[in-house]
Structure 1
Amino acid sequence: MASANRPRGGTTPAPTAETRAFLVEVHGRLCRTYHCPIPYFHELDPLDELVSSLLSHRTKNADSARAFGNLRAGFTDWEAVRDAPVERVEQALSPCTWPEAKAPALQRTLREITERQGRLTLDHLADMTVPEARAWLEAITGIGPKTSAAVLSFSALHRRALPVDSHHHRVAVRLGLIPASLAVGPSHRVLEAMLPEEWDAQQVYDNHEILMLHGQKVCHFRSPQCSRCTLLDLCPTGRDRTAGQVRAAPTAQAGLL
């Protein structure tokens, strides 16, 4: 299945009906497990969501939330963050990984938005289509497909955009939806193309959340819990792992005789 979805020549191939049906079956099972629809976890405006998303890169949610809170408590607004000495911003971001890199990068992003819009706001995204809004965001230095999708989906805009994090990506690879050679960034376009066109923003958000949750709770990076996975019969990786364990059992038993 993965080879059918491998991008060629920079284009996204149309998913087959079989691939889409497979994804819908996966989605249905995981929705029953994790109780869709899943509530949105906050209602930030788009600019707040952008800052939050940038801070979360390679950082635990609790730590990035602390850093975000430090910014809101220590500065009057995002213009003040933009214009502050970088050392003050770096200090506020100390709960994050790499605050020394994130502080100047955040200020650069805020300056770029100001230069492009004439003021520091992302309110104009509400008047754009999703492709237009994502292209506008991704033209900013340091913003890729995950961040653009997060801004549109997770913010109060609640638009139809699919973020893909490392857990989501890992589950999709193991299911054979995408090849292991397809990195997280380009996988956004491929996985989003598989979603049924009639799905609304809530269903697209659910798809991200349930695949992410499954990666966190069952399909771990190390030692995935295949034996208790609701997708085991659909998952080629899980079937191979459990078959290998069954084959190894007689050998292990024989060593005890």
Structure 2
Amino acid sequence: MRAVMEAAEKLRAVHARLCREFGCPITYHHALSPLDELVSSLLSHRTRNADSRRAFGNLRERFPDWAAVRDAPTAAVEDAVSPCTWPEAKAPALQRTLRAITEARGALDLDHLAGMETEAARAWLLALPGVGPKTAAAVLSFSALRGRALPVDSHHHRVAQRLGWGLICSIR
């Protein structure tokens, strides 16, 4: 328990330094719906921000809603997401994820996550095909949900683990 308390204190010190340097709280750039954020996050994998934003915009311009993306010919979705890295893989993967949401919820909607505890919402998202820990955290944190989650790359996670911060992941 002592190690957990020491790690928590280190984390609070890092937080305080970051706040002094950059200000707190850090403002969000947008407030997408959870479903919009999920699509955006899926497109962003291994892709520069400008390119994934362009692909997201293409989808919004070419299709009236996410159900149309789900049901469209994969080639049409692939063309829309062509600014992304590996559009030939992302298009069918995105459609699989949208179909899984529809099957689980009866509609394309993730608003039910707002009424869930963070860990339960995270687990629900992780059960979707193509959704890993970083994507789930992005949906929870960056969408209009504004949940308590921190999306991190695997190499950042490894450093945090080495610093002992993995011990305090559930401390609030």
**Fold match, TM over 0.5?**
yes
1:72 aligns with 2:67: no
1:178 aligns with 2:145: no
Residues 5-55 of structure 1: CA deviation (Å, up to 9, x unaligned)? xxxxxxxx9952111111111111122112221111111000000000000
Aligned CA-pair RMSD: 2.1
The change in CA–CA distance for 1:116 and 1:14 in structure 2 (over 3 A counts) is farther
Contact 2:7 2:167 in 1 (8 A): no
Count of residues in correspondence between the two structures: 171
The change in CA–CA distance for 1:191 and 1:16 in structure 2 (over 3 A counts) is closer
The one-letter amino acid paired with 2:123 is A
* CA distance in 2 between partners of 1:144 and 1:14 (Å): 31
* CA distance in 2 between partners of 1:193 and 1:128 (Å): 18
The one-letter amino acid paired with 1:126 is A
Q: Which residue of 2 aligns with 1:62?
A: 50
Q: Report the alpha carbon displacement of residue 155 of structure 1 after superposing the two structures with TM.
A: 0.3
Q: Which residue of 2 aligns with 1:236?
A: none
* CA distance in 1 between partners of 2:67 and 2:44 (Å): 20
Q: Which residue of 2 aligns with 1:252?
A: none
The one-letter amino acid paired with 1:125 is L
1:116 aligns with 2:104: yes
Structure 1 outlier segments of 4+, above 6 Å:
none
SS in 2 for 1:89: helix
Within a 5 Å distance, the mapping from 1:93-172 to structure 2 comes to 93-165=81-153, 169=156
* CA distance in 2 between partners of 1:192 and 1:72 (Å): 39
The change in CA–CA distance for 1:104 and 1:27 in structure 2 (over 3 A counts) is same
Within a 5 Å distance, the mapping from 1:1-257 to structure 2 comes to 16-165=4-153, 169=156, 173=159, 177-179=160-162, 190=166, 193=169, 196-197=171-172
Unaligned regions of 5+ residues in structure 2, if any? none
How many percent of aligned residue pairs carry the same amino acid?
A: 65
TM-score relative to the length of structure 2? 0.91
SS in 1 for 2:101: helix
The change in CA–CA distance for 1:158 and 1:133 in structure 2 (over 3 A counts) is same
Name which structure has the greater RCO, CA cutoff 8 Å, separation 6+: 2
* CA distance in 1 between partners of 2:136 and 2:146 (Å): 12
Q: Report the alpha carbon displacement of residue 179 of structure 1 after superposing the two structures with TM.
A: 2.8
TM-score relative to the length of structure 1? 0.62
Contact 1:63 1:95 in 2 (8 A): yes
Instruction: Flag the structure with larger Rg.
Output: 1
* CA distance in 1 between partners of 2:88 and 2:126 (Å): 23
Contact 1:162 1:192 in 2 (8 A): no
The change in CA–CA distance for 1:116 and 1:38 in structure 2 (over 3 A counts) is same
SS in 2 for 1:178: helix
The one-letter amino acid paired with 2:16 is G
